[in-house]
Structure 1
Amino acid sequence: MTNINLDKRTVAMIKKNGGAVTLNPLYIFNQNKQRGPIDVMLTFDTPEADSMYQIVSYDGINIYIHENLKIKKELRIRISGFGPFQHLSCSGIKHFRKKSTV
């Protein structure tokens, strides 16, 4: 089970925007996805096919975590920014991936 930490403000923002958040991998420099840095893109929606996602329910919301994202000890999702520039950010993701055996 994934250890997830969200504050009340973040949960309220996710509920206001549909009650679901999806964490997708974003391969910045290496599009073949074999190795290299991975960032995370958070969206307020549900994936079309949830077979590649781990679904975690937390305080009335659903969090979809892509299988290519590896969590360290704890996944923290917070609101960053201020006013109309608020957005979700997360920490606790392993940002480097070694070459896979595929």
Structure 2
Amino acid sequence: MPWLYLLVALAALVGAFNTTSVALLMVCLLAAAAALLAWVMGLLAQRVGSRSRDEAAMIDPVELHRLREQAEARRLAAAAESGLGATGTGTQAEPRR
């Protein structure tokens, strides 16, 4: 689809070169500039779209919350198993002076 904008821009430039009317020249030049801008934006949109991630592969918030809870439960179980306590850091707080 972006290539059609390029063809429209070229046709507008041909029309601008072949006219003797100043008003028609300005309209053709504005149309050519707009079509060139649309062509560039279309190419950029295709490039961004081709590099974007698939939305179906993303995790929804409910599943993410469930996975975080499972990871936290595993971390706490591992900390309790190794005898580090509930914090899981293995360090003791220093007394205040």
Q: What interval of TM-score do these two structures reach, taking the shorter chain for normalisation?
A: under 0.3
Q: Highest Rg: 1 or 2?
A: 2
TM-score, normalisation: structure 1: 0.18
TM-score, normalisation: structure 2: 0.18
Higher relative contact order (CA 8 A, sep 6+): 1
Which protein has the bigger strand share?
A: 1
